[in-house]
Amino acid sequence: MSNKRISRRDFFRGASMVLLAGGSSVLASCAQPTPQVIEKTIKETVPVTVKETVVVQGTSQITEKVVEKVVTPSVAPITLKQVTLQFAQPAQEGFDDKTYGTFLKEWQKRLKGVYPTLDFEPVTVDYQKQAMAMAAGNAADVAFINVPSAWPLIYRKQLLDLQPALDADKEWAEYLTHFVPTTLNTYTYKAHLFCIPTSVETTGTIYNEDLLKAAGVKLPHEYKEAEWDWNAYIQTAKSATKGDGADKIWGAFMNPDVQGGLGDMVYSNGGGWLTDDGLGSRVTEPAFAEAAEVAIGMVTKDKVSPSTANLSDYQNNAYAALINQKLTLMISGDWAFGWVLNNLLPDKKFKLNFFTSPVSPKSKKSVGVGHSTGIYAWTGGKNINEALAFLKFAASQPGQSLWSENWTKSPVLSPRLDAQDAFWKLNLVPNPDAMKRAFEVSMPYPHTPLMNASIAIGYVNTGIGAAMNGDDTRPVKDILAEIDKKIVADLQKSAAG
């Protein structure tokens, strides 16, 4: 691993626990049958005198000593206030929006069924504006976030630490056992959870089965998972590549993005964008460099993938090329699979399929790159208990089900496995076992508490993209060394405040 790391002393200076509701009280489970009542549990450390027997030179002596013991008093009810929480979300999705309008109204209806005192008012902001509003002291009570944006806010103690509430609430903690683990890992910092995931995404191999059959090649799903490696991917793409100009059919598309191809190869090879703690860069490691060499070679040497530059000359983007049968294979997310199906069927007729991502020939380890949106509560909010009740509902099966039920309008799945029936009943995925497997093996999206991780990802996209386009012909190790310097410089700048 790279030894270019931020000082841990500076990084962790001043870190402390975020207590809920302004004191030591934390949210516990919902009281029934009055769902608007929640409970609090106060944990205290008290001195306790215990006796122990000590043997001294063959003689037993009884001594006493005082030790600290944690005791948990009985729970006491807290009645939730009648409030309307401000619920911030990105873009222009509101109650009248065709994508999320019906969804939000139904979500609010289900929320009130559990907590009659709670309403919410959706407002639209972007992640940068949310951060600015927090700094100004007037942010929304609860809000959507994504993983690259969440970690710096977690580090600055602007997102409420949910762990004390989860530790006190067995019902809420049980909810989380149904989640795809990667989505929880995504928002867990120093063993504490800060967001409730609301979507689960992962990557795999998406392919036009008809074009591959016409090329007379073995189909991806006919391989064993460990045999579907980079070499098999490239050879399959070579067989499917044909034609020139407007008639060109590309065998594959290789994107330098972490969720567009390169990420699956890097992670399978044992590499990564950032160190596990998010304080250092890993892009100069041999595992990263080797994967980047192969990815660039698919464009420049094997000539099975268009670069992003010449792809735009043909079809505008990879998904349009896939729909118009100018592209056979691509490593991309399950959301893209859904987007293609939603835009493709029933107008175009060909069989689209899904398999796990190609593995590194060295490791034979299958991975996907997991990403998730989440909902958090702002630490500066005036309605902390109510915001926690909102988040608990967001983690429940009724709260999560709507993500999958709304899939045909916004193709994302609930991270709760027991809330995905609405999606699987559509029978849209010819190989559902492979997609479920892709969720199982997904690695968390790159993250760092010091800055929005999209910055580091963007440096890789730009640098490797330039090599694929032929604009940068330097050795890959030199390109990565330059990217590494940029990432490390930004991390150091962020650590310095």
For the chain, which residues make up each domain, given as ranges?
82-196+379-428, 203-370+445-495
Percentage of residues of the chain with pLDDT beyond 90:
66
The pLDDT value given to residue 128 = 86
Quick check: 413 and 421 in contact, CB under 8 A? no
Encode pLDDT of 420-441 as tens digits: 999 999 888 889 999 999 999 9
How much is the pLDDT for 93?
Answer: 60
> Using 50, 70 and 90 to split pLDDT, how confident is the model at 20?
very low
- pLDDT tens figures, 55-87: 555 555 555 555 555 444 434 456 899 999 999
* pLDDT of 16 over the 70 cut: no
Q: Do domains 82-196+379-428 and 203-370+445-495 have the same CATH topology?
A: yes
Q: What is the pLDDT of residues 323-351, one digit of tens each?
A: 889 999 999 988 887 778 777 766 777 88
Query: Does 249 have pLDDT greater than 70?
Result: yes
Q: Is the pLDDT of residue 272 over 80?
A: yes
Task: Compute the distance between CA of residue 333 and CA of residue 278 in angstroms, rounded to an integer.
Answer: 24
Residue with token string 């001195």: 47
Per DSSP, the three-state class of 329 is strand
Helix (H, G, I), strand (E, B) or coil at 494: helix
* Pairing status of strand 327-333 against strand 250-253: parallel
Contact status, residue 273 vs residue 258, Cβ threshold 8 Å:
yes
pLDDT at 353 over 80: yes
pLDDT at 323: 86
Across the chain, what does the average pLDDT equal? 84
Model confidence, pTM = 0.81
3-class secondary-structure state, position 28: strand
CA distance 191 to 181: 13
If you search the block for the tokens 């099966």, which residue do you land on? 397
Beta bridge mates, 146? 373
Task: Give buried/exposed letters for 173-189 (b at 16+ CB in 10 A, else e).
Answer: bebbebbbbbbbbbbbb
pLDDT by residue (tens digit) across 226-243?
999 999 999 999 999 999
Q: What is the pLDDT of residue 293?
A: 98
In which element (H, E) is residue 128 found? helix 127-136
d(CA 312, CA 404): 32
115-171 pLDDT per residue, tens: 999 999 998 888 888 889 999 999 999 999 999 999 999 999 999 999 999 999 999
Among 338, 339, 289, 329, smallest CA distance to 306 is for 329
Check: CB of residue 400 under 8 Å from CB of residue 414: yes
Q: Does domain 82-196+379-428 have CATH number 1.10.4030.10?
A: no
Structure-token pair, residue 115 = 């907590």
* CATH superfamily ID and name for 203-370+445-495: Periplasmic binding protein-like II (3.40.190.10)
Residues 6+ apart with CB under 8 A from 352: 206, 207, 208, 209, 337, 340, 341, 344, 430
What's the rounded Cα separation, in Å, for the pair 174 and 197? Answer: 15
